[in-house]
């Protein structure tokens, strides 16, 4: 098979996976214009239209669906063969595309980047932040990281940290002005800072361990945000009570800029997991990164 045909088939697979020339071009490291020309040349060579294009979307045609079903397994076999050869020769390289939450990125992964790149200079990382669940197969990614309870069942989950706890916090000034709640029921009389989940659009109901069971509370207050750090900043400024993972609260609690309230009702949740599709062959770059995290994360996660 000619090398240009093989490259065109790989480009075809990426466009089919992303349903976007722009996103597929980004994944391949080429311009959208160059990728569009590659696809057009492949369609001309085959004599069929592989995609139905509009100004807003790129979708497989009926012929494209049939063709992808035939070529995708062959491309996967070629990729696996290459990675097997590199693995047996001890060669590691390539770019690992990873989706993760802002919390995991800022507090767990980013502090380890200098050490990882020093140990593995031939592996690149592309970090894509999204607090909602991401379909890594659909989006052509290698790995995802989420709190354990939010994983899809058809994924292989790799535990990376201990469980996290949700903690309720407020500034000393707020507590002096408004008093300290003694039971989650007392939050109805307080100003609470809410978090809207981008994945579902719903406002997160605060969870507490009450009488041995997890109880949910719909709280009210002056601010709703889609980013946890905004909520903690608002709490630090005295605007109300916020809820956050203990991972994000180590420094504010240490310096007493925030004070924990209702600690006896704090609920625990599964820790951080990496996830990837079930497959017989895991790429070397993915195995190297996971091994590094399993070794280093326990030393920095609180």
Dump pLDDT digits (tens) for 62-97: 888 888 888 878 777 776 666 555 555 455 568 898
| Contact of 18 with 7, CB cutoff 8 Å | no
Q: Which two tokens stand for residue 52?
A: 């139905």
Dihedral over alpha carbons 91, 94, 97, 103 (to 10 degrees): 70
For residue 265, what pLDDT is reported?
95
CATH code linked to domain 164-269: 3.40.190.290
For residue 236, what pLDDT is reported?
97
Residues of the chain with pLDDT under 70: 1-3, 55, 79-93, 149-153, 279-281, 299-302
For residue 215, what pLDDT is reported?
94
Do domains 92-162+271-295 and 164-269 share one topology? The answer is yes
Instruction: Domain ranges for the chain, please list them.
Output: 3-80, 92-162+271-295, 164-269
| Contact of 244 with 207, CB cutoff 8 Å | no
**pTM of the full structure:** 0.65
Q: Which two tokens stand for residue 109?
A: 């992964």
| Contact of 84 with 281, CB cutoff 8 Å | yes
For residue 72, what pLDDT is reported?
79
CATH code linked to domain 3-80: 1.10.10.10
CATH code linked to domain 92-162+271-295: 3.40.190.10
Q: How far is CA 293 from CA 25, 66, 120, 158, 300, in A?
A: 29, 40, 13, 10, 10
């Amino acid at each position: 098979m000619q090398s240009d045909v093989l490259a065109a088939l790989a480009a075809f697979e990426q466009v089919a996976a992303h349903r976007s020339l722009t996103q597929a071009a980004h994944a391949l490291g080429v311009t959208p214009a160059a990728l569009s020309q590659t696809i057009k040349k492949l369609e001309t060579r085959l004599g069929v239209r592989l995609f139905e294009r509009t100004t807003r979307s790129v979708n497989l045609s009926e012929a494209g669906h049939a063709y992808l079903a035939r070529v995708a397994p062959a491309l996967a076999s070629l990729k696996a063969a290459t990675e097997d050869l590199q693995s047996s020769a001890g060669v590691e390289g390539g770019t690992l595309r990873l989706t993760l939450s802002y919390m995991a990125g800022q507090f767990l992964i980013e502090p380890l980047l200098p050490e990882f790149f020093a140990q593995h200079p031939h592996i690149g990382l592309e970090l894509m932040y999204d607090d909602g669940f991401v379909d890594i197969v659909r989006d052509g990614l290698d790995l995802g990281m989420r709190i354990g309870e939010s994983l899809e069942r058809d994924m292989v989950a790799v535990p990376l940290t201990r469980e996290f706890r949700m903690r309720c916090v407020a500034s000393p000034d707020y507590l002096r002005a408004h008093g300290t709640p003694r039971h989650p029921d007392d939050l109805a009389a307080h100003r609470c800072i809410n978090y809207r989940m981008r994945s579902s659009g719903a406002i997160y109901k605060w969870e507490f361990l009450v009488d041995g069971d997890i109880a949910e509370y719909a709280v009210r207050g002056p601010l709703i945000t889609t980013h946890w750090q905004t909520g903690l900043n608002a709490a630090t400024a005295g605007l109300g009570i916020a809820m956050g993972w203990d991972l994000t609260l180590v420094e504010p609690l240490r310096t007493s800029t925030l004070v924990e309230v209702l600690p006896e009702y704090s609920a625990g949740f599964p820790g951080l997991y990496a996830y990837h599709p079930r497959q017989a062959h895991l790429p070397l770059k993915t195995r190297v990164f996971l091994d590094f995290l399993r070794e280093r994360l326990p030393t920095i996660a609180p």
